[in-house]
Structure 1
Amino acid sequence: MGSKERILRLKEETRTKILDAALDIVQKEGWQSLSMRKIADEIEYTAPIIYEYFPNKEGILLELTRRGYLILAKDIREARDSHQLPADKMEAMWIAYWNFAFANKEFYQLMYGVDMVCCTVKNSLAEAENVGNMLAEVIESLFVKKPVSDDDICMKYYTYWSIIHGLISINLVRPNGRTTDDINQQILKDAIKGITLSINS
């Protein structure tokens, strides 16, 4: 490996180290505790070195948001590909979305601004659009009458998302007041099936 490749590899390793440290801090203390100084302390670097890789905290949040959407896209793709029928795909994809939210709580909070003082990161990332596009494609396949307008697909997407995101948010914000997992799963599946049935009624 040449010196140029070694330098690039070390830079990428340091960048990953910074992002991992930021996520570690958030998992222990919450998003409100994250600062450039804390990240520097965590990886035993000086704060100016962190600024060589990211211009500010928002830059780190943007990269972590991107990372979260990549994980979510993988989960949703796998769920979609494990079924044949559009209705089964739809249910599996939204259940994968649900499971992602609780397995990756910190990512979900950042990506969708749940229980955060403010969310300055915009969800106009290509990675976020990829997740939306996968869901939209399956929603379109649920319609019997073709062609399907973008407005109809969009309306159904937001119908699914608002109910599922709302249920996730309630459970993330009020973890002690959470209903049982069995009840949550039943509510989730009933909601998905109800919306799916309404598409062609």
Structure 2
Amino acid sequence: MLEYVAMVREEAGDRIARRKARDREARRERIVGAARRIAEHEGWASVTVRRLSDEIAYSQPVLYSHFESREGILAAVALEGFRELGPALEKARSSGSRGKAIERVAGAYLKFAESSPALYEVMFTLGLTVPFGDAATPVELRSAFSKLVQLFEGRKAKPEIVAELFWASLHGIAELTRTRRFPPAWQKERLRVLVALFTRLQ
């Protein structure tokens, strides 16, 4: 009988622990979602811990129990962006003929940057301490970058270097278009020339 009671208590404890974990994850997702919404409408300068606290009716101590700082919240949003970008690039890379993969991936990248400007900004242009290109780089970033590397495998040039240059070109186009330094009317021709350059590169 005592063993049965102990088992019931253990199962109840497990259920409570799982529920608490789900609740904690739901709160975390709500914080990240609110940060994205505010940034999309008002910019990242408006995303503060106090504003988030008011927006989702969580006390500031609750927010700090999930994230140590405002930057932690922004970094979580950035990682969420990479979790979205990676599959978008993979879908573009793997659909259709191999010869068109560079063009499709370039188009998918620029579409992502254009359709989610606030998300793209926190991923690539804000001064976060999320590490790129070292042992501490999060798996989400590595996965997204690997989709670019795969485009250039089997060539004489080191594929990681070519992927970096391709990424730098795409990022430059995305940013200069966003800030209206590049005329949007030339975007198709711009993309055509870029693709031709990297397709020929050996």
* Cα distance, 1:163 vs structure 2: 1.8
Hey, what does 2:102 align to over in structure 1?
A: 90
Counterpart-to-counterpart distance in 1, 2:131 and 2:124: 9
Q: C-alpha separation between the residues in 2 aligned to 1:24 and 1:159? A: 32
**Counterpart position of 1:105:** 117
Give CA deviations for 1:52-88 in whole Å, capped at 9, x if unaligned.
Answer: 1111111111111110001000100111111232x31
Task: Summarize deviations over 1:142-165 as a string: whole Å, max 9, x none.
Answer: x2xxxx46xx22332233222221
Quote the RMSD (CA, aligned, Å). Answer: 1.9
Question: Under a length normalisation based on structure 2, what TM-score does the superposition of the two structures give?
Answer: 0.84
SS of residue paired to 2:153: helix
Q: What residue is the counterpart of 1:179 in the other structure?
A: 183
Is this contact kept in 1: 2:75–2:128, CA < 8 A?
Answer: no
2:172 equivalent to 1:160: no
Q: How many residues align?
A: 185
Letter in 1 for 2:23: L
Which of 41, 66, 72 is equivalent to 1:53?
66
One-letter amino acid of the structure 2 residue matched with residue 164 of structure 1: L
In 2, Cα distance between the equivalents of 1:119 and 1:170?
Answer: 21
Per the TM alignment, residue 178 of structure 1 is displaced from its structure 2 partner at its CA by 5.3
Q: Does 1:136 align with 2:149?
A: yes
Gaps spanning 5+ residues in structure 2: where? 1-11
Q: Take 1:198 and 1:7, find their aligned partners in 2: how far apart are those partners? A: 53
Contact 2:89 2:105 in 1 (8 A): yes
Q: TM-score with structure 1 length normalisation?
A: 0.84
Moved more, 118-127 or 18-27: 118-127
SS in 2 for 1:184: helix
Report % sequence identity: 25
Once the two structures are TM-superposed, the CA of residue 195 in structure 1 deviates from its matched residue by: 1.9
Amino acid at match of 1:57: R
**Could you say which structure has the larger radius of gyration?**
2
Partner of residue 128 from structure 2, selected from 113, 116, 119? 119
**For residues 82 and 51 of structure 1, what CA distance do their matches in structure 2 show?**
43
Alpha-carbon distance in 1 for matches of 2:161, 2:28: 39
Residue identity opposite 1:94 in structure 2: A
